[in-house]
Amino acid sequence: MKTIYVCVGSACHLKGSYNIIDGLQKLINDNRLTDRVLIKAAFCLGECTKGVCVRIDDGPVLSVNQENLTEFFNEHVIGK
């Protein structure tokens, strides 16, 4: 099971972390991955200037926003 950690700390919250969580949940449901992908909230992933910080398992911290959400999901969740 993959775990996607989405920062909900102050900086990421202001940049739309809850919208990213909602979008990820929709993509997970649409792709029928609810039994293989889990979303968890995290506090500060250490890259506050990058935007909404997201990490998959123990991977690197990536910046995700509404514009690149689907691309991120396709590349890092479905593609792996």
Domain harbouring 74, CATH code = 3.40.30.10
How many domains does the chain divide into? 1
The boundaries of the domain holding residue 18 are: 2-78
For the stretch 14-56, pLDDT in tens is 999 999 999 999 999 999 999 999 999 999 898 888 889 999 9
Q: Looking up tokens 């979008």, which residue turns up? A: 23
**Strand order through the sheet with 61-64:** 37-42, 2-7, 52-56, 61-64
What's the predicted TM-score (pTM) here?
0.93
* Burial (Cβ within 10 Å: 0-12, 13-18, ≥19) of residue 30: exposed
For the stretch 51-71, pLDDT in tens is 899 999 999 999 999 999 999
